[in-house]
Amino acid sequence: HMIPRFDQLNEVLGAATGWTLVGVEGLLPELDFFDHLANRRFPVTWWIRRPDQIDYIAEPDLFHDLFGHVPLLMNPVFADYMAAYGRGGVKAHAIGPDALQNLTRLYWYTVEFGLINTADGLRIYGAGIVSSKGESLYSLESAAPNRIGFDLERIMRTRYRIDTFQKSYFVIDGFEQLMAATEPDFTPIYARLADAEHLPAGDVQDGDTVFQRGSGEGWADGGDV
């Protein structure tokens, strides 16, 4: 009902979980982004998309950052996960590009495009999904994508899509599961994954916990990153 004021939001957010919002013009350098998260500062893009762009826009804006990401920072467990991710990002940045790629995939398939299993069925928590009406419906209702149980190393090997709806979504049982997965030192994991095969975005692997094996209808060929 009004233009968001970061100073007012920071009073509420800071009291709840110790996070503050920082206004930025757009994407930050990776290390700057990780440093903000590690210190419980969330960068929020200050500009907002046009009405005709409401369902999808390639770059983050206020609609995505503030209304997509920030509400979950009121959840203490998720707030701790994001700070831990930031600390891990600083470390991965120092280790090298392969470690950074593994960690980026974890962010993509959880913070941006994660689903959570609840007593009422699958629900969305990923801000990348929430920012799109089309993908919100697709991620929960379409027969096309895979829905696979959360597995840390599996996710860190899995490519993803930046140009279409996701071919696979990973499902957590609760935010505590994310926190538990983030607590260990990732250095041995990066070493194990150094020579591991990168998995296509739409693959289902032996050993996966499959909530739904997707039909693949409408999937674009190629383009996994």
183-210 confidence digits (pLDDT tens): 899 999 999 999 999 999 999 999 999 9
Distance, in Å, from the CA atom of 137 to the CA atom of 33, rounded to the nearest integer, reads 30
Q: What is the pLDDT of residues 88-127, one digit of tens each?
A: 999 999 999 999 999 999 999 999 999 999 999 999 999 9
Which position has the higher pLDDT, 200 or 49? 200
* Active-site residue (options: 36, 69, 93, 132): 69
Residue with tokens 């996710």: 155
Q: Is 32 left (phi over 0), alpha (psi -120 to 50) or beta?
A: alpha
> Quick check: is 36 catalytic?
no
pLDDT bin (cut points 50, 70, 90) of residue 182 is confident
Which of 36, 112, 132, 135 is the catalytic position?
112
Q: Which of 11, 36, 59, 64 is catalytic?
A: 64
Shortest CA distance to 67 belongs to which of 6, 130, 122?
Answer: 130
- Specify the residue for token string 């046009």: 50
Cα 208 to Cα 8, 39, 150, 154, distances in angstroms: 44, 34, 9, 9
Backbone φ/ψ region at 121: left (φ over 0), alpha (ψ -120 to 50), beta: left
The per-residue pLDDT of the chain, averaged, comes to: 95
Active site residue 136: no
Is 30 a catalytic site residue?
A: no
Reported confidence tier of residue 54, pLDDT bands at 50, 70, 90:
confident
SS3 117: strand
**Fold entry, domain 6-212:** Phenylalanine Hydroxylase (1.10.800)
CA 131 vs CA 48, 49, 64, 95, 128: distances in Å: 12, 11, 5, 32, 5
> Of 59-63, 133-137, 154-158, 187-191, which gets the smallest average pLDDT?
59-63
> What's the pLDDT at 3?
83
Catalytic one among 131, 132, 139, 168?
131
How close are the terminal C-alpha atoms of the chain, in Å? 38
pLDDT, tens digit, 9 for 90 and up, residues 127-150: 999 988 899 999 999 999 999 999
CA-nearest of 94, 195, 125, 114 to 155 is: 114
At 73, which amino acid appears? L
Contacts of 11 (CB under 8 A, 6+ apart): none
> Is 69 noted as a catalytic residue in this protein?
yes
